[in-house]
C-alpha cells in the first residue's frame, strides 16, 4: 500500500504547481520575494516605506455554494475572481490598498487542469485588484469530499495610512449615498437560488431573453472588484466618509455597519437600473422584495457615503474608472438601520 493507493496523488500536486506558475507570475509585484514552492510567501515591507502611520488590514472569505454551479457546469475559470473580490472589497471598504493574496483549495481529487483553471481565476482577480498572489495550498481530501468537488477560500492583506482609514465616524444626517452597480448576484444567496431554479445542465444552459445570456452564465458572472475605482476616487481627493460592501445580509445588514449610532440610511429602490437577474429571481421564486434586499445586492455591490458637494465628482470618477454609479439615498437622523423604499 502507498499514499497514491490511499487516494492522495503527490504527482498530481506537483503538476498543479507547474500549471499555475504562469498565472501566478501575472500578479507579481516588485515587493514579492522568491517564487512558488517555499513554506511561506515573502513580501518586502518597502510597500510601507514613506508612510507616516501604516495600518495593516486583512480579510478572509470563501465563495459559498456558488461553487455548486461551477461543479454542475464544469466551469472553473472565474470562481477564483469571486474569492479574491470577497476579500479585497472588504479591505478596500476600510480604505486599504490590497498588497497580497493567498488561496486555499480543498478537493476530493486533485485534477491538475481543474486546479489550474481555478487559480487562473484567482490570478485574474489579483490582477484586477493590484495584489500579488504570493502563495496558497491545494489539499487533497479523499474519502472526505466527493472527487469532483472542491472548496475555495482566500486571505488578503492591505495597507493604508491611519489618517486615511474609512470608519464612518464622520457621517452625518444629510450625507448622500452613492451606489456602484454590481455585475450580478456576486457570491451570496446561492442556497436560495438553488431552491428556485433547477440545477440541471440543460436548464442552466438555456438562453434567457431578458438576460441576454444563459441562466448559468448569468449566475456565474464573477463578483465585481471595486479596488481600481476606489483608488481613482481617492486619488481625485474625494472624501469617502463610509463604505459598505453589499454581501450576505444585503442592504439591511451591511449598510448600517458603516453608520454611527443615531443615523439611518434611506434607500430608494427605484433610483438605479437593477440588473435583470434580480427581477427574474424575485418572480420565479415568489420572493418578497424585502427578502430580496436582505439576501442579495439587488444590483448595488458597493455603497459610499459622501458629502453632497462631492457626490457628482464621485460619480464621474467612478464612471471614468469603468463603473456605473447612482445616487440611491440619503443618511437621516434616527435609529441605526437601513430602510429601503419600494
What DSSP character marks residue 239? Answer: -
The arithmetic mean of pLDDT across residues 32-46, rounded, is 87
**99-114 average pLDDT score:** 97
Mean pLDDT (whole number) for 28-32: 94
> Which residue intervals of the chain are DSSP H helices?
10-25, 67-73, 79-93, 112-129, 190-196, 201-204, 215-220, 227-235, 250-254, 277-285, 289-295, 311-320
What angle is formed at CA 21 by the lines to CA 19 and CA 24, rounded to 5 degrees? Answer: 125
Can you give the residue ranges of every domain in the chain?
10-164, 176-341
* Residue 72 pLDDT class (50, 70, 90 cuts): very high
Q: What percent of the chain has pLDDT over 70?
A: 99
Work out the average pLDDT over 189-209: 96
pLDDT at residue 180 greater than cutoff 90: yes
What's the CA angle centered on 89, arms 330 and 85, to 5 degrees? 130
Separation in Å, CA 63 to CA 208, 229, 268: 25, 22, 29
Strand, coil or helix: what is 179? strand
Whether residue 297 is predicted with pLDDT greater than 70 in this model: the reply is yes
pLDDT for the residue numbered 330: 98
The model carries a pTM of 0.95
Give yes or no for residue 7 having a pLDDT over 80. no
Q: What is the mean pLDDT of residues 218-235?
A: 98
Residue 255 has pLDDT above 80, yes or no: yes
pLDDT over 90 (residue 339): yes
Can you tell me the mean pLDDT for 12-19? 85
pLDDT at residue 308 greater than cutoff 90: yes
Half-sphere exposure of residue 140: CA atoms within 13 angstroms, side-chain side: 20
> Nearest CA to 182 among 296, 90, 81?
296
Query: Is residue 129 over pLDDT 90?
Result: yes
Across the chain, what does the average pLDDT equal? 96
The average pLDDT across 309-323 equals: 97
- In angstroms and rounded to an integer, the radius of gyration of the C-alpha atoms of the chain is 21
pLDDT 10s digits, 268-293? 999 999 999 999 999 999 999 999 99
**Does 1.10.3720.10 match the CATH number of domain 176-341?**
no
Find the mean pLDDT for residues 158-165: 97
For residue 214, pLDDT over 90 is answered with yes
CATH architecture type of domain 10-164: 2-Layer Sandwich (3.30)
Task: For residue 264, report the phi and psi dihedrals to the nearest 5 degrees.
Answer: -135, 160
The confidence score (pLDDT) of residue 5 equals 65
Amino acid at each position: 500500500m502507498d499514499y497514491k493507493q490511499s487516494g492522495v496523488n503527490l504527482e498530481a500536486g506537483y503538476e498543479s504547481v507547474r500549471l499555475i506558475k504562469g498565472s501566478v507570475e501575472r500578479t507579481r509585484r516588485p515587493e514579492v520575494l522568491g517564487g512558488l514552492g517555499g513554506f511561506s510567501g515573502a513580501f518586502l515591507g518597502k510597500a510601507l516605506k514613506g508612510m507616516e502611520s501604516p495600518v495593516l488590514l486583512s480579510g478572509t472569505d470563501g465563495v459559498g455554494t456558488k461553487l455548486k454551479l461551477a461543479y454542475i457546469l464544469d466551469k472553473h475559470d472565474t470562481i477564483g475572481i469571486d474569492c479574491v473580490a470577497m476579500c479585497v472589497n472588504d479591505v478596500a471598504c476600510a480604505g486599504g490598498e490590497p498588497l497580497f493574496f493567498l488561496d486555499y483549495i480543498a478537493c476530493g481529487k486533485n485534477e491538475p487542469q481543474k486546479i489550474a483553471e481555478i487559480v487562473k481565476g484567482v490570478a485574474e482577480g489579483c490582477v484586477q485588484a493590484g495584489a500579488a498572489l504570493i502563495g496558497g495550498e491545494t489539499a487533497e481530501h479523499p474519502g472526505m469530499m466527493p472527487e469532483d468537488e472542491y472548496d475555495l477560500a482566500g486571505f488578503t492583506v492591505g495597507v493604508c495610512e491611519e489618517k486615511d482609514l474609512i470608519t464612518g465616524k464622520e457621517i452625518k444626517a444629510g450625507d448622500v449615498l452613492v451606489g456602484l452597480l454590481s455585475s450580478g448576484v456576486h457570491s451570496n444567496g446561492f442556497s436560495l437560488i438553488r431552491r428556485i431554479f433547477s440545477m440541471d445542465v440543460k436548464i442552466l444552459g438555456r438562453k434567457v431573453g431578458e438576460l441576454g445570456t444563459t441562466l448559468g452564465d448569468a449566475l456565474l458572472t464573477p463578483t465585481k472588484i471595486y479596488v481600481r475605482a476606489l483608488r481613482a476616487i481617492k486619488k481625485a481627493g474625494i472624501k469617502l466618509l463610509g463604505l459598505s460592501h453589499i454581501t450576505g445580509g444585503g442592504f439591511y445588514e451591511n449598510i448600517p455597519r458603516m453608520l454611527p449610532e443615531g443615523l439611518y440610511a434611506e434607500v430608494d429602490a427605484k433610483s438605479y437600473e437593477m440588473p435583470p437577474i434580480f427581477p427574474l429571481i424575485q418572480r420565479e421564486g415568489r420572493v418578497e422584495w424585502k427578502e430580496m434586499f436582505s439576501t442579495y445586492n439587488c444590483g448595488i455591490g458597493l455603497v459610499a457615503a459622501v458629502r453632497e458637494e462631492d457626490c457628482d465628482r464621485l460619480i464621474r470618477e467612478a464612471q471614468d474608472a469603468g463603473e456605473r454609479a447612482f445616487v440611491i439615498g440619503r443618511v437621516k437622523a434616527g435609529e441605526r438601520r437601513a430602510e429601503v423604499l419600494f
